[in-house]
């Protein structure tokens, strides 16, 4: 799409009175810079929530255009295709998550205290936990993750690999250092068990009420994290079969 087309699309979006949404309103406030980043971010934010609600297949560029108060041409200007938009939504917040994991591991490694399995597991889980409870966008992303993990297709795998692998591998290395008697491939496998557990917990709280006969409804998010750290750290340190 040419720059002229983008400008035309933006002009149309601004002119159409029925498209007057939060995004266009905000742009018009005095002192707010009118720049590309504004629209691009709005589209990403609205797409994140839309994909979380409807899944990749259930949401069209048109749906997102409506939610973002822009026309479809502008979305295609920034993201070419629905797949690219989805990927960018995933990369954006997944990247923040990976970054936070890196930083927490750095702090552990440089903290001078002896490394423990529990501390490493907690550092890995904490950012995902914080994200879930960070508001609408964070919890939308967590639902979107769950959906992506339920689609074991090549594309989904490639995206997750791109976003998460570097940080996960540093965690496997840190665990291998603390657990020299456990083969690294077993630690990698147990790391996969860990991912399964926390994804399920993040997404499936209704079911947990059932399995505990309603006794876990009032558990706080911190208690839940403590329980998970205890369980997973024990599993990671288990005897090798």
Q: How many CB atoms lie within 10 A of CB 61?
A: 17
Closer to its own copies by CB, 8 or 226: give it. 226
Residues 6+ apart with CB under 8 A from 64: 43, 46, 47, 50, 75, 85
Binder to its own copies among 126, 147, 176, 178 (CB under 8 A)?
Answer: 147
| Residues touching its own copies, count (CB under 8 A) | 62
Closer to its own copies by CB, 36 or 223: give it. 223
The answer to whether residue 190 forms part of the interface with its own copies (CB under 8 A) is yes
DSSP 176-205: HHH-TTS-HHHHHHHHHHHHHHHHHHHH-H
The answer to whether residue 16 forms part of the interface with its own copies (CB under 8 A) is no
In the DSSP assignment, the letter for residue 70 is: S
Q: How many CB atoms lie within 10 A of CB 16?
A: 13
The residue whose two tokens read 């997750």 is 160
**Window of 69-77, 91-99, 109-117, 226-234 that interacts with its own copies by CB under 8 A:** 226-234
The answer to whether residue 166 forms part of the interface with its own copies (CB under 8 A) is no
Give the phi and the psi of residue 67 in degrees, each rounded to 5: -65, -35
Rg (CA), the chain: 21
Closer to its own copies by CB, 80 or 165: give it. 165
Binder to its own copies among 8, 14, 40, 55 (CB under 8 A)?
Answer: 55
Closer to its own copies by CB, 137 or 219: give it. 219
**Which residues lie near its own copies (CB under 8 A)?**
55, 57-58, 146-147, 149-150, 152, 154, 157, 160-161, 165, 168-169, 172, 184-186, 188-193, 195-201, 203-208, 210-213, 215-216, 219, 223, 226-241
């Amino acid at each position: 799409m040419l720059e002229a087309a983008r400008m035309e699309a933006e002009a149309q979006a601004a002119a159409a009175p029925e498209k007057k949404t939060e995004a266009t309103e905000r742009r018009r406030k005095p002192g707010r810079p009118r720049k590309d980043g504004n629209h691009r971010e709005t589209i990403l934010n609205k797409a994140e929530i839309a994909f979380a609600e409807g899944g990749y297949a259930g949401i069209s560029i048109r749906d997102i255009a409506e939610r973002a108060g822009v026309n479809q041409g502008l979305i295609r200007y920034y993201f070419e295709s629905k797949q690219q938009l989805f990927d960018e939504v995933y990369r954006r917040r997944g990247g923040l998550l990976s970054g936070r994991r890196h930083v927490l591991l750095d702090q552990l490694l440089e903290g001078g205290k002896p490394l423990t399995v529990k501390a490493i597991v907690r550092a890995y889980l904490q950012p995902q936990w914080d994200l879930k409870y960070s508001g609408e966008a964070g919890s939308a992303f967590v639902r979107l993750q769950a959906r992506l993990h339920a689609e074991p297709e090549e594309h989904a795998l490639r995206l997750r690999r791109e976003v998460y692998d570097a940080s996960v591998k540093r965690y496997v290395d840190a665990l291998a250092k603390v657990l020299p008697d456990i083969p690294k491939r077993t630690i990698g496998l147990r790391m996969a068990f860990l991912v399964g557990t926390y994804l399920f917990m993040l997404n499936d709280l209704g079911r947990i009420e059932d399995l505990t006969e309603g006794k876990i409804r009032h558990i706080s998010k911190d208690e839940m994290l403590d329980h998970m750290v205890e369980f997973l750290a024990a599993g990671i340190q288990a005897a090798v079969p």
